[in-house]
């Protein structure tokens, strides 16, 4: 058997769960002809982005310091800790919780959070009987001001496709098993509303301060793929 | 399953680009791939080869050419049914002496095998639940296994044009629940029923659907 | 458009793969890609809906092959070319074309915090009649536009109930194509999972989808 044929078949076996081998098909020519713009992204996006940024800076189309500030904000300043504080406040202050559920934008703004990709917020409450799960099947819409930028799994095809058709299966993958007595509500973020799940407060936390409670709240629980436990 | 293969109604796949004077096989290996798939007497049920292709990860499905997909899945099925081992595929050498082939096709047999084909029809009585002219609805089912009811038709109302007779049912054949032979009908769906008001009033799509896919409407 | 991005209900995408302590950006280039996209958006030559539509038009095989931020960059390049903000020669060389004038970027470091705090609201303070009301039964229309839409395929033709009226928002289907904002009411519509997926689905579960007035008809 010639090398190329063997490699080709080996690549086929990869899918059957055998040893990992490079997929030769990718090295072959495009085997589908089409006219429309075919984006051939070089194998190193890092180089491409670097070149692009330099070009745009040189043309005066973007300001480098602005780029740095954007990255810094989402890497270090805005993240799920914001949402955790909102949740902890709602757990400890019933009046705030009421405001949060009926007028989410303003209630979240009370804590100083809001703005980009969180201009129109809706907080949905998990109870013993109702479990909420948030997805964006069409792209990756996510409430940035309270949760930061979305994780890879949230933006992935597996999550986007299955959350609406098999929510209980998806939750099981995250280690959460729900009984038949629980109603699951999946929220597909198709418009500019951004959803934040208000998870259930775990038992045994009655003596905890707001700050201690906030430390327990996970990003996953605010998307709806997990519950808050006393093991943070 | 709701896989990427179920392409009816998709936009964004690009122009069709038919090739002038397209050869039957673009390369020698394509011909060999075709022949291997035909010749290998595999121990898998009706529909299993199609379903195996449907199981490919979407990126791979879209990237691999037609005959690449045939070879990929042929190898997967042969390994699954232990006709060959992954080690043999990797090395290209036969390791096990025994062969699991139930029949080795000879050149002399080829013309008659092609002529006879491999009919999926079954000469058994089966009660048809529908008849020509009847209005039906394609059921809204979303099995993870193999099915031949395309997503674009589910929940849509059509009319039985013709009863094709009794055939093996691929959904159960593939998932190990047997042949379950039943009637297959040609069902006419108005284009507007499928695609909305933008579609032409007089156009239609005829879909061949098994009895189990339908309910009265 | 009925593109591969419209993933709701697909079953062949494999398991959800999570990463413990996932960083915001795995590689610096991803942060740069994010920031450059945001900064170029500040020129307001296109809008958010047009950006999403541009990503949806990535060839299906590439859509799956590319990582998230790769798709952002590819779509951004297309938008910049379309709007003549860069030329193919400039992308090739990495340098401005000879004689091209240097511009002043609208998004400066000082303005970044304002942008992040204010955001870009899609709501519109205009009086528009709502065709539907809370509790009403509606059907998502069976539309199959080739342009941009936020009505997922899995919901089309399905019957649901108006859960809530979110107020008036820009309509992405027209806005993405620069045909106007056409502000209208957006509703949270509740669909029983059995209505969406058939008898196999759990009896008590549901999917809530935010849908514009134009997507709905009385049921």
pLDDT at position A125, please?
Answer: 97
The answer, yes or no, to whether residue A36 has pLDDT greater than 60, is: no
- Are B167 and B203 in a shared domain? yes
A43 given a catalytic annotation: no
When CB atoms are compared, the residue of B29, B65, B79 closest to A13 is B79
Q: What are B90's two structure tokens?
A: 């990797």
CATH number at residue B149: 2.30.30.50
- Are B39 and B74 in a shared domain? yes
A22 falls within a domain? no
The answer to whether B132 touches B183, Cβ cutoff 8 Å, is no
Q: What is the pLDDT of residues C130-186, one digit of tens each?
A: 999 999 999 999 999 999 999 999 999 999 999 999 999 999 999 999 999 999 999
pLDDT mean across residues, chain A: 82
Q: Which of A69-78, C79-88, C168-177 bottoms out in mean pLDDT, i.e. has the lowest? A: A69-78
pLDDT at position B84, please?
Answer: 86
Q: What are B181's two structure tokens?
A: 């032979």
Q: What is the pLDDT of residues B36-73, one digit of tens each?
A: 888 888 889 988 999 999 999 999 999 998 888 998 99
- Are B33 and B76 in a shared domain? yes
Q: What is the mean pLDDT of residues A38-54?
A: 69
pLDDT at position B178, please?
Answer: 92
Nearest to B47 by CA among B55, B59, B39: B55
pLDDT at position B175, please?
Answer: 87
The answer, yes or no, to whether residue A58 has pLDDT greater than 90, is: no
Q: What is the mean pLDDT of residues A129-133?
A: 95
Q: What is the pLDDT of residues A191-215, one digit of tens each?
A: 889 999 999 999 999 999 999 999 9
- Are A56 and A142 in a shared domain? no
- Are B103 and B143 in a shared domain? no
- Are B183 and B141 in a shared domain? yes
Chains that touch C (3 or more CB pairs under 8 A): A, B
B21 pLDDT tier (thresholds 50, 70, 90): confident
A2 pLDDT tier (thresholds 50, 70, 90): very low
pLDDT at position A41, please?
Answer: 46
A47 falls within a domain? yes
- Are A108 and A192 in a shared domain? yes
d(CA A122, CA C186): 13
Of A4, A54, A104, A136, the active-site residue reads: A136
The answer, yes or no, to whether residue A9 has pLDDT greater than 70, is: no
B70 DSSP 8-state letter: H
A49 pLDDT tier (thresholds 50, 70, 90): confident
CATH number at residue B98: 1.10.472.20
Angle CA A91–A92–A97, to nearest 5 = 55
Q: For an interface test with A, which of C210, C212, C215, C216 has the most A Cβ atoms less than 10 Å from its Cβ?
A: C210
- Are B99 and B174 in a shared domain? no
Sequence ranges of the domains in chain C: 28-118, 137-218
Residue scoring higher pLDDT (C54 or A138) = C54
Query: pLDDT over 90 for what percent of chain C?
Result: 100
A209 given a catalytic annotation: no
- Are B161 and B194 in a shared domain? yes
When CB atoms are compared, the residue of B13, B54, B142 closest to C200 is B142
Fold type of domain C137-218: SH3 type barrels. (2.30.30)
A35 falls within a domain? no
Q: Do A183 and C91 touch (CB under 8 A)?
A: no
Domain of residue A133: give its range: 79-223
pLDDT mean across residues, chain C: 97
Domain of residue B152: give its range: 135-216
d(CA C105, CA A70): 14
B127 falls within a domain? no
pLDDT at position A40, please?
Answer: 45
B130 pLDDT tier (thresholds 50, 70, 90): very high
Stated pTM of the model: 0.86
Q: What is the mean pLDDT of residues C70-85?
A: 97
The answer, yes or no, to whether residue A130 has pLDDT greater than 80, is: yes
- Are B103 and B57 in a shared domain? yes
The answer, yes or no, to whether residue A93 has pLDDT greater than 80, is: yes
B19 falls within a domain? no
A221 given a catalytic annotation: no
Distance (Å) from the alpha carbon of B96 to chain C's nearest alpha carbon: 33
Q: Does domain C28-118 have CATH number 3.50.50.60?
A: no
Cα–chain-centroid distance for residue C170? Answer: 12
Residue scoring higher pLDDT (A32 or B112) = B112
Q: What is the mean pLDDT of residues A226-232?
A: 86
> What's the structural domain count of chain A?
2
Render the burial of B62-85: b for 16+ CB within 10 Å, e for the rest.
Answer: bbbbebbbbbbbbbbbbbbeebbb
């Amino acid at each position: 058997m010639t090398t190329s044929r063997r490699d080709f078949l080996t690549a086929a076996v990869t899918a059957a769960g055998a040893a990992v081998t490079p997929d030769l098909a990718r090295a072959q020519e495009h085997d589908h002809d089409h006219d429309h713009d075919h984006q051939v992204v070089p194998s190193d996006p890092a180089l491409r982005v670097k070149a692009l940024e330099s070009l745009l800076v040189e043309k005066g189309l973007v300001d480098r310091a602005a780029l740095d500030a954007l990255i810094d904000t989402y890497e270090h300043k805005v993240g799920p800790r914001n949402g955790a504080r909102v949740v902890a406040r709602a757990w400890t202050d019933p009046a705030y919780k009421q405001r949060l559920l009926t007028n989410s934008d303003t209630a979240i703004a009370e804590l100083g959070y809001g703005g980009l990709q969180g201009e129109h917020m809706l907080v949905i409450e998990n109870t013993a009987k109702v479990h909420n799960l948030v997805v964006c099947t069409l792209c990756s819409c996510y409430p940035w001001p309270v949760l930061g930028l979305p994780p890879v799994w949230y933006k992935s095809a597996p999550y986007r496709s299955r959350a609406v058709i098999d929510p209980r299966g998806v939750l099981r993958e995250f280690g959460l098993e729900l009984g038949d007595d629980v109603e699951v509500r999946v929220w597909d973020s198709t418009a500019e509303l951004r959803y934040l799940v208000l998870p259930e407060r775990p038992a045994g936390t009655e003596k905890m301060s707001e700050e201690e409670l906030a430390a327990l709240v996970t990003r996953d629980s605010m998307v709806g793929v997990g519950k808050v436990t006393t093991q943070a | 399953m709701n896989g990427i293969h179920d392409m009816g109604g998709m936009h964004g796949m690009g122009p069709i680009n038919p090739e002038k004077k397209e050869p039957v096989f673009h390369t020698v290996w394509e011909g060999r791939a075709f022949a291997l798939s035909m010749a290998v007497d595999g121990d898998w049920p009706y529909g299993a080869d199609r379903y195996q292709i449907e199981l490919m990860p979407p990126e791979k499905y879209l990237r691999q050419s037609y005959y690449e997909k045939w070879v990929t899945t042929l190898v997967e099925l042969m390994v699954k049914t232990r006709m060959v081992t992954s080690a043999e595929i990797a090395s290209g050498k036969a390791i096990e002496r025994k062969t699991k082939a139930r029949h080795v096709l000879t050149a002399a047999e080829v013309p008659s095998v092609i002529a006879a084909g491999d009919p999926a029809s079954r000469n058994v009585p089966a009660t048809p639940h529908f008849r020509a002219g009847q209005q039906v609805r394609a059921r809204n089912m979303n099995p993870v296994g193999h099915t031949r009811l395309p997503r674009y038709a589910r929940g849509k109302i059509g009319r039985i044009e013709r009863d094709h007779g009794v055939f093996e049912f691929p959904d159960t054949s593939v998932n190990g629940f047997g042949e379950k032979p039943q009637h297959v009908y040609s069902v006419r769906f108005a284009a507007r029923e499928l695609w909305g008001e933008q579609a032409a009033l007089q156009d239609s799509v005829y879909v061949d659907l098994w009895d189990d896919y339908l309910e009265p409407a | 458009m009925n593109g591969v991005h419209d993933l709701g209900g697909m079953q062949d995408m494999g398991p959800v793969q999570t990463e413990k302590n996932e960083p915001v950006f795995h590689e610096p280039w991803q942060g740069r890609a994010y920031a450059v996209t945001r900064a170029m958006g500040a020129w307001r030559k296109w809008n958010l809906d047009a950006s999403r539509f541009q990503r949806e038009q990535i060839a299906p095989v590439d859509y799956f092959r590319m990582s998230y931020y790769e798709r952002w960059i590819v779509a951004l390049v297309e938008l910049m070319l379309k709007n003549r903000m860069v030329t193919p020669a400039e992308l090739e060389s990495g340098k401005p074309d000879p004689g091209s004038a240097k511009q002043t970027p609208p998004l400066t470091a000082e303005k970044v915090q304002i942008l992040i705090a204010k955001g870009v609201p899609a709501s519109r303070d205009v009086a528009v009649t709502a065709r539907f009301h809370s509790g009403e039964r509606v059907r998502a229309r069976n539309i199959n536009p080739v342009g941009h839409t936020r009505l997922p395929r899995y919901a089309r033709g399905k019957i649901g109930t108006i859960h809530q009226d979110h107020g008036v928002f820009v309509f992405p289907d027209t806005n993405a194509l620069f045909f106007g904002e056409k502000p209208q009411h957006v509703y949270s519509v509740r669909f029983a999972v059995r209505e969406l997926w058939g008898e196999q689905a759990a009896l008590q579960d549901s999917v809530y989808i935010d849908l514009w007035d134009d997507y709905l008809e009385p049921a």
